Amino acid sequence: MDTLIRSKQSELATTSRTFIPTISIVVPSKLAASLAPTAPPATTLPITTESTAVGTSTEKTTKLVKSMEKISIQEIELKRLREKVASLETDYKLAQIQQREERQKALRMGEKVKVLEKYSTLQKSLGQTKEMLWVNIIDYVNDIWPSIQVIFKQIELVKVASEAIKKVREDLGDQPEDANRLIHFLNCKKRHELNELGIEDKTEAILEVKKVLSKINLMVNLEGKCHNMHVAIDRFMAKFQILWDKGLASPMVIHEKLMTQLDYTDRLRKLAKEQAITLGIKALPTEKVLHDTLENLFFLEHEVKHLFVTKPHFSKYTEVDEIYRRMLKVKLLEDA
């Protein structure tokens, strides 16, 4: 029996080295005493084996716990690294998006710069074109300036002559009819009859009466000439008004007096400079905008050049002025 117990102890010792945790079998003291009353006391080997097995199991458990703690720490670190990698990936994607946006912005800015360059070139070209057109307009104005002076001279003459015609018509009243009757009366009377009337020279008297008719004839002639001249003036002023509406500066000063040619040329140059600076185009223009921008200047250039189909001259002015002066020189007895 003792041998059996030792055998079991040996098996238990071997098993304790192989399996964790070790299972120890404790034999009750009464059973051991009944089986071997004379045998010497049992050795302490089973107790030592059990203690060693427990210690080995504790160390391995401790190592396992430490390993698990280490694994847990590593998992935590791995999670942190994964989160950091995910954050870096997100930052990288955002950086790529921002880079694409910056690239697109740069492309848009490049296109805008090209448009601005075209716009600047176009503005410069338009300014040069306007300047060239204004130079032509000023040259044409200088060419026709003598004719413009004639027109304004005629305006002044027609105004003065019309006032004189009105005054003569008011002064004569019914004298034209009386003059014809008086001439007939003088021609029918004899010398002694005229002497009785205090008329010594019948011819002189008749000539004096005929002054009324002469003045009337001059007045009627002057009125017709002034009417024709006024029609030509109105035609010219209507065409000139269109030029003013299209942007040509007015050549008149206060009281409808014509300014000097030098002053008017300076006014046109100043206007040309202002238009060359401010073109009125705020975007890259279309064909219609370009047409509208330059249309007035092309119109002015053409119309100023062809303002006078037949240039007026001083012959008509001189003719009317002559009739006007002759009418004023006819002095009637009442005027004397």
Asked if the structure places residue 68 within a domain, the reply is yes
Asked if the structure places residue 179 within a domain, the reply is no
Integer Cα distance of 205 and 216 in angstroms: 18
What's residue 253's pLDDT? 73
Integer Cα distance of 290 and 298 in angstroms: 12
What's residue 120's pLDDT? 61
Residue 289: which of 276, 297, 280, 298 has the closest Cα?
280
Q: Which residue has the tokens 């847990």?
A: 72
Asked if the structure places residue 55 within a domain, the reply is yes
Asked if the structure places residue 132 within a domain, the reply is yes
Count of domains for the chain: 2
| Residue 190, SS3 per DSSP | coil
Let me know whether 233 and 131 are in one domain: yes
Let me know whether 135 and 252 are in one domain: yes
Q: Is the dihedral of CA 91, 93, 96, 98 positive or negative?
A: negative
Let me know whether 23 and 160 are in one domain: no
Asked if the structure places residue 202 within a domain, the reply is no
Asked if the structure places residue 107 within a domain, the reply is no
Q: Which helix (H) or strand (E) holds 209?
A: helix 202-245
What's residue 99's pLDDT? 87
Let me know whether 131 and 229 are in one domain: yes
- Backbone phi, then psi, for 307, in 5-degree steps? -65, -40
Let me know whether 9 and 130 are in one domain: no
Let me know whether 165 and 282 are in one domain: yes
What's residue 118's pLDDT? 61
Let me know whether 268 and 161 are in one domain: yes
Tens-digit pLDDT profile for the chain (336 aa)?
455 445 545 554 444 444 444 444 444 444 444 444 445 444 444 444 555 666 678 888 888 888 888 888 988 988 899 888 988 989 898 888 988 888 888 887 777 666 655 656 666 777 788 888 899 999 999 999 998 998 889 999 999 999 999 988 888 776 666 777 777 777 777 777 777 777 777 777 777 778 888 888 899 899 999 999 999 899 988 998 999 888 898 888 766 688 899 999 999 999 888 877 655 555 555 666 666 777 888 899 999 998 887 777 777 888 889 999 988 888 876 554
Asked if the structure places residue 206 within a domain, the reply is no
pTM above 0.85, yes or no: no
Domain of 31, in residue numbers:
2-35+43-73
Integer Cα distance of 208 and 202 in angstroms: 10
Let me know whether 143 and 69 are in one domain: no
Asked if the structure places residue 250 within a domain, the reply is yes
Let me know whether 156 and 282 are in one domain: yes
Q: Which residue has the tokens 């075209």?
A: 118
What's residue 161's pLDDT? 93
What's residue 115's pLDDT? 60
Let me know whether 147 and 217 are in one domain: yes
Q: What Rg value do the Cα atoms of the chain yield, rounded?
A: 65
Please tell me what DSSP assigns to residue 256: G
What's residue 142's pLDDT? 94
What's residue 285's pLDDT? 57
Let me know whether 51 and 147 are in one domain: no
Let me know whether 300 and 158 are in one domain: yes
